[in-house]
Amino acid sequence: MSEAKALTAARSAGFGAPRHVAIIMDGNGRWAKLRGLPRAEGHRRGVEALRVTVRAAGELGIGVLTIFSFSSENWGRPAAEVRDLMGLLRRFIRHDLNELHASNVRVRIIGERADLDAEILKLLDEAEGLTRLNTGLILVVAFNYGARQEIARAARRIARATAAGAVVPEEITAELFAQHLDAPDVPDPDLIIRTSGEQRLSNFLLWQAAYSELVFVPVHWPDFDRTVLENALTEFRSRERRFGGLIAQAGS
């Protein structure tokens, strides 16, 4: 049974939460500024919030948690801040990977890997390799990720397949296109949460978000905790999801 089918079956059997929650973790810098602290401290506290959120997601029955950890546009930030962010990624993988593995969490990485630093690439591969057989929460880390870039990558894959004669243009459907995205076996997010009060997707999961419910919370990411997550899930359950057809309750 595929991961997507397994998650669907689990939900129909009584999941009390959406099967896939994605989070745009925003507001580390503003959190630090409000407290007169350096931006690096905001990012450090954001990692602590991530640990809390991963643990809570597993306990609340969420099947997939996707986090927007580093966008392809973030390379344009000051070099010192990028170095701090890379350092946090290194420490998170080195210090938290064994705990994630022990908790049966499977780590998946989406995003462009070409031209990444060799050490970072090795850590990403290690995280996926160590946890590949785990059957609990799937933690999808969007790193060096941009949704438009992901769609362009999928288009190039299909173009190569067409040029090789494996696909004819008339066979290209939305379903076939989706199979060429970075993680085609992972179901689309039911719920996307963005912190810090901003109300936009910022080039995150644009294809997959077609029918996602969006919840924007005014909390900066370092203050995000289980209570905020539970409140977002409550909001999700109050929504009516139509998918272009008959009304269906989001939490049903």
- Which of the residues are catalytic? 26, 74
Contact predicate 70/144, CB 8 Å: yes
Contact predicate 57/45, CB 8 Å: no
Cα–Cα dist 47/85, whole Å: 10
| DSSP bridge pairs for 65 | 21, 139
Question: To 5 degrees, how large is the angle CA 131–CA 140–CA 136?
Answer: 50
State the DSSP H helix or E strand holding residue 148, giving kind and residue range, or none if neither.
helix 147-163
Q: Please provide the DSSP assignment of 207-233 as one string.
A: TGGGG-EEEE-SS-GGG--HHHHHHHH
Contact predicate 240/249, CB 8 Å: yes
Residue in the structure block whose two tokens are 């344009």:
76
